[in-house]
Structure 1
Amino acid sequence: MENRSCVIDFMLAAFPMTLVMRALFFSFLLIIHIVTLSGNFLILLTVWKSHSLHTPMYYFLVNLSILDICFTSSIIPKFLTILASENRSISFQGCLTQCYFYFLLGSVELLLLAVMAFDRYTAVCHPLRYTTVMTSDFCLYLTVGCWLAGFADTIIPTFLIINLCFCGSNVIDHFFCDAEHLLKLACYDTRIIHIVNICCSFVIVFGSLVCIMISYGCIILAIIKTSKVGRRWKSSSTCVSHLLVVVIIYGSSLFLCMRGITLAAIDISKLSAFMTGIVTPLLSPFI
């Protein structure tokens, strides 16, 4: 048997940039991070201070803002460190932690969007039963269920990756520790782990998407059947913002399936991850 020494730290390749471009991108990314945190914290403060907003819709919106804060904070600080100091190294434990929380928070966010679609479905299609269905306890159960499902979905691939040995190159061709790029550096055949990772992602992404499509299918039918123009407009307006967030998140997530395709020497997966992890949390508070 060949002796192999396992890699204990990794290097994040990020984006190839000159010194001037790195300084400009650092300033740009720092402003994005500050605006993202400020916008989401403002939502939390507004809902907390206004008792009229203590409703299920804004309860889920608060949870979405908390997820966006944690989600973007799981990758931007290290990215800023790389741009500022050119220190691209990250320990194996730090890499695995970043990878786990990125996909955990992403999975919970997709599930929460499905729950928010169900909330809108109940409000539009069953308005008289809304207060009896969407009780505070039920909303809490739905939120906890999202976290438990996200934890169960990401713990299996993480457990498989943590027992791997990485040898040879320690350069991860990404700006954060992405599981797919990490598996390429393993010493062993990782096809089974790759399949497990895809299956777990498939369950969360398409499971939540099906729930959202069914909910909005019923909402559209209910709006069409409504004869009053005012009620049609009110029903539509309460769903538009949520639909915009869904389109942005799922649109960027679809590009993650296009791994291996390059555009102007930049991996599509980097651009889609940048959209999902940095741009989407920035746009959500404005939407």
Structure 2
Amino acid sequence: MMKKIGVISLFTAFLLGCSQQQSNMAHDEKAIHSVHHHWSYVGNEDPAHWGDLATDYQVCKLGKNQSPVDLSESIVTHSHSIKLRTAKTEVTLENNGHSIQVTPANTNNMLWIKQKPFVLQQFHFHTPSEHTFKQQHFPLEGHFVYQSEDGQLAVVAVFFNIGKANAVLTQLEQQTLSVGQKYSLTQAIDLAKLIPKNQKHLRLTGSLTTPPCTEGVNWIIMQQPIEASQTQIDWLAKIMGKNNRPLQPLNSRFIIQE
């Protein structure tokens, strides 16, 4: 029997330190941070205006299953529907004007949802976090974007608290990129260093947190934060600025704790 509870483990961790629709999702993922229709986090192109900037952005204001959301309550189940496989990979970094996006050179990093395979396409960061617990933000949130063969998207979200330096971020911060610049790391990074060892998680259906705000995205949100140093978080914040979308209504959705 399922019962509704506050996500105590997440709160404790916080104190200590996101048919046709599926076929279109591959295209929409390429449109993440698109400059075709310019958008921003400030001014007249900020999140409050995204839905009016272009016809294909209207779901940003009309959608009923938007992300991010507050994670204060969840429904507990005894199922475990996901499996993650991490592997070392060379990567390319890009400052796309909205975030630092990291693209792997191989397809060895995978996610399975109810045995359906998804391949890691890219990961990027938001400062402060986009999802919250009891309206409280973490200093940093990483989004690992996966895609299935039929174009469906899944995002694994990982929170960061301030603590010891993260080994992967140490590799990434060796290069400070201006907007539009790319850089390829020849030394492979170990994606396992960006995923908590305890993989208890929350799951819900949501959207991309950037235009075009496409819905139908599978969100897996890790409950256990990992650590990054204050210097590393400051480095990302200096490059990206405040790049978190405001919270969206949960509406009729449920947050599942696995």
Same fold (TM over 0.5): no
Q: TM-score, normalised by structure 1?
A: 0.23
Going by fraction, where is helix more abundant, 1 or 2?
A: 1
Going by fraction, where is strand more abundant, 1 or 2?
A: 2
Higher Cα Rg, which structure: 1
